[in-house]
A and B are shown apart, each in its own frame.
Chain A
Amino acid sequence: MSTNTKRDRYARRAVVALVATIAVLLSACTPGGGQTGSPEPQASARTLVIGATAEPTSLDPTADAAVAGSQVMLYNVYETLVKVDSQGQLRPLLAQAWDVSPDRLTYTFQLNHAAKFSDGTPVTADAVAKNIDRIKTQQVAAKLKTVMSIVAGTNVVDEDTLEVSLSRPSVNWLYEMASTAGIVINPAGFDEATTATAGSGPLTLDRWTPGDSISLTKAPSYWGTPSRFDEVTFRYFKDPNAMNASMLSDQLDIISNLQAPEALAQFSDPSRFTVLEGTTNGEVVMGVNNGGDPTDPNVPAGTGNPALKDVRVRQAITMAIDKKALVNTTWGGHGVVLGSMTVPTDPYYEDLSTLFPYDPDKARALLAEAGATNLTLRLKPAALPYATKAAQFIAAQLQQVGITVQVEELQFPARWRETVYDRADYDLTIVAHVEARDLSSFANPNYYWRYHNPQFDSLVTTADQGTVDEYVSGMKQASELLAQDAAAVWLFALPNLVITKPGITGVPTDAQSLSFDTTTIARA
């Protein structure tokens, strides 16, 4: 009998032991047996881990119209002749100086003789000329081709001197050369640029794990001020909550731009986090399919609702939307309400958001006047958090003035690009335009807005050809004209909400360029 009870006890102990084993197994997974502190081995002083949202589809920023590649590569891996600093000013980079001829048609760039690519070959005038030629002739994003279309030719004077002649004067061209269009790739690496990098910057590609991260490593013999970090990693998150959790568990040093402003309160402890709030170049636009001009053979018709060609209908839609409430709903009140395609950091910015203030009664009256009652519109936002949230809000508001809205979210970028951008098969859409100074994109009738206004086109072109003062005043007129015409519904400027760990310095408050420029960042 006594052996029996013993066996019973053993059996019970076996069960207990199994349960205990699980507990041990689970706790064994905990490094350091439950010490608080950073679980990330790479979070030492010489590494920087940045949380980001949009992952590049290619390592070549010139290959894709999306800006995700430029965020990582521009200034960090690839350099340009000139660069935009955190104040929005142009500074020397590969070009240590430049001259503009009196007729403003010829730019002479004096390259920094020390500049060299990561394989040690010097950055020569010939290499820069080959890059300009590549943008003009090879298959790159159409937008960049437009920038380079006014380049009439290049002339290699000597190894360090390059002349670029333009077919017409342009204020904006040099500014664009500080961005993706002006990236100088080692011509020896042109063919592999989508999967490998060949730049002259302080960092080079270490590894790219698609769907996860891009790691950059310090270039061994950089020609300028070396990077303060041995390794810089951009980690990509499709879910903003996952990015926040990662920051809260000390896995990240920086959130490059918080996508869920309602989560801001989680980072309110100043001993653990610093919150920077500034502006970006990103306009959140509700694009309207203007449908083009059927009498103009140069404008593709698109398949938009013809009612949208009536300016009164477009103005009514603008007045039917309470933009301040929209910003409160979608971005927790962060972000500047806009009235045209220009953001506060643009030199020609003025507040046009009061031009058509929220007024549903007037909107209803305008719609009746235009004979556009019982309107049904297809709203196809990009399936990105800010756009889908805004779409629901706008659908409800347009319903109030008698417009039925059918919302169809399109996966971004591929589906959105195919449906809206390529085929203009939509009535309304929502997406952010993050390129700097992109007012002039309304001068392209082939663009997905299918907007064509010769008066606007000539204002933009004349402004670009004038002096800087003429440029600013001309662009102001253009942006006012665009706002009067209600060519789109400008919702708000995306705020730049950056979260950093204490001790991280040099992160600019306003995002002035496409680059997340790590060359100014340091860790105490």
Chain B
Amino acid sequence: MALRLFLRLLLRLAILLVSLAVASWVIFWITQELPGDIARVMLGDGASPEQLAAKRAELGLDRPFRVQYEEWVVGVLTGDFGRSWYSKLPVVSLIAPRAAVTAFLVGGGLLVAVVIALPLGALAALKRRQWPGFAVSAASQIGMAIPAFWAGILLVVAFAVQLRWLPANGYVPFTRDPAAWAAHLALPVIALGLVQAAVLVRYVRSSFLDVLGEDYYRTARSIGWTRGAALWRHGVRNAALSLVTVIGLQLASLIVGAVVIERVFVLPGLGSLMLDAVAGFDLIIVRGIVMVLVATVLVINGLIDMLYAVIDPRLREGDRA
């Protein structure tokens, strides 16, 4: 059985690596084939054909596609994403500090979402035929219909403009002032978390409902466990498993939501860097960011898959069958 599990993990790893390779090729191809001539954009008015050719050579754009792709992949594997066409700064040095901002935003948003969704989902399942159940379901419906940017704007109007408790936007690095850092991240994290919570709460509710219909729950109840205790033991574990799966699936939408939130709150994260780079036609930066984001989603999903294989007994039993 251990061998089966090992082979299964190996297969998952192989799938992950192939996905990463395909993704890298697609990303490179798209950013290479986008219309527009960077040399002309950079040199501006009055550039001669010779100057344009020289600029293309300087940027290495005159070489065969395959050579450029291989160079980029080797660079990415060794942590060198190339240099910005405009500022000449290493792309890694541009991405790294901004990736931290996005990671805090996504991580914080996820935490808020889980902390809200677990108890409310449980409540909605337990009281599904009473008003708290209806209220939670209705709230999650509304929450899912609200775009993240709108939630963000509402929070800004309430807590920044009206009450003036928190800054409306901007960012202060943790190392400069931890309190200001937290204050600046609070509203964006809540905005992102609330919208995600609305999605998660439905999964939590249905996984708790599943447990209520299971034999082991009835057994637990029949040997004298309270509803709460039985749910706590079986329900939370079940909900956690389904949450992990859903979070894996939701990760991509969470990152997209973070990009929007970064815009609303003027956070210097990966999303805003990418939008700036697209606008400024600095495609080598775009390429690096998209690769980082896609790799993050693929790797985390792959890890969740593997974890799932390890921790879920049913999946292992399925193996044996």
Contacts and interface: CB of A to CB of B under 8 A. Distances in A.
Is B a genuine binding partner of A?
Answer: yes
Interface of A: 4, 7-8, 10-12, 14-15, 18-19, 21-22, 25-26, 29-31, 34-41, 57-58, 65, 142, 194-195, 209-213, 235, 237-239, 241-242, 245-246, 248-251, 411, 414-415, 417-418, 421-422, 446
B88 to A, nearest CB: 8
B264 interface: yes
Given A39-B167, A245-B161, A411-B279, A211 B86 contact: no
B227 A8 contact: yes
A235 B171 CA distance: 11
B87 A210 contact: yes
For chain B, what secondary structure do more than half of its interface residues adopt (helix, strand, loop), or is it mixed?
helix
Contacts of B46: 142, 446
Contact of B170 (A58, A239, A246, A248): A246
A251 B167 contact: yes
CB-based closest 6 A-B pairs = A11-B228, A29-B186, A245-B168, A249-B160, A7-B226, A18-B119
Contact of A11 (B153, B180, B232): B232
Interface stretch (B66-74, B110-118, B199-207, B290-298): B110-118
B228 A417 contact: no
A41 B181 CA distance: 11
A414 B280 contact: yes
A519 B185 CA distance: 33
Contacts of A25: 112, 115
A15 B115 CA distance: 11
B168 A248 contact: yes
Interface string B205-218: 00000000000000
Interface in B12-60: 36-37, 40-41, 44-46
Given A8-B228, A11-B226, A36 B165 contact: yes
A242 B115 contact: no
Given A30-B166, A235-B266, A249-B167, 4 more contacts: A21-B115, A39-B180, A245-B156, A417-B41
Interface stretch (B1-9, B248-256, B268-276, B309-317): B268-276
Contacts, number: 157
Interface residues of B, number: 63
B45 A422 contact: yes
Contacts of A35: 165
A277 B226 CA distance: 70
A418 B36 CA distance: 9
Contact of B226 (A8, A414, A422): A8
B186 A242 contact: no
B160 A36 contact: no
B165 A18 contact: no
A10 B228 contact: yes
B263 interface: yes
